Amino acid sequence: MKAIKTAAFFLIIGVRCFAQDFWMQLEVPEDTGVYCVKGNSTGETFLGARGLHKSIDHGLNWLPTGFTELTGTIDINLANGDIYVGNHLGVFYSTDNVETWHATTFYDNANIIFFSTNNNVFVGNWGRIYKSTDLGQTWEQVLELDNTPAKLIFTLRGSKNNR
């Protein structure tokens, strides 16, 4: 009985001590839905919406960048600071902190972009994963999954034989 009381005490104290009441709602650019947010090592924050927006004051104010297409995913190459964005048109990048934009040779829907620590770029696309070893100039499909949601969930959780 003493163990139950002690556990209840720590649970109540823990909930109060670790409650996340430090969140604050930010104003985003008018008439836009937010699809993704990413920060870089210099304290800038990027917001993917109808276009890419940039904040230099931790999201209090947003400035439009030169990328005006819908932005569904963002990643930043930590090796050099290049910014990659993806959407239904493909993958685009900026090497000069969002001043100018270039298209990669990936012209399909890019649902997610990820940079590995060895400078490879990965793009997820409806059950397929592509890899570029030259910063987006060429792509190789490295994985294809069955696109059936029920099978994908089952695969992620494992089967009886995999437990």
Q: What contacts 90, CB < 8 A, 6 or more positions away?
A: 103, 104, 106, 107, 108, 109, 110
- Residue ranges per domain, the chain? 32-162
Q: Is the pTM of this model over 0.85?
A: no
Pick the CATH number of 32-162 from 2.120.10.30, 2.60.40.1170, 2.40.30.10, 3.40.50.20: 2.120.10.30
Per-residue pLDDT of the chain in tens (163 residues, 90 and over written 9):
566 656 555 555 555 555 566 677 777 776 678 889 998 888 899 999 989 999 998 888 999 999 999 999 999 988 888 999 999 999 999 999 899 999 999 999 899 998 888 889 999 888 889 999 999 999 999 988 875 554 444 444 444 443 3
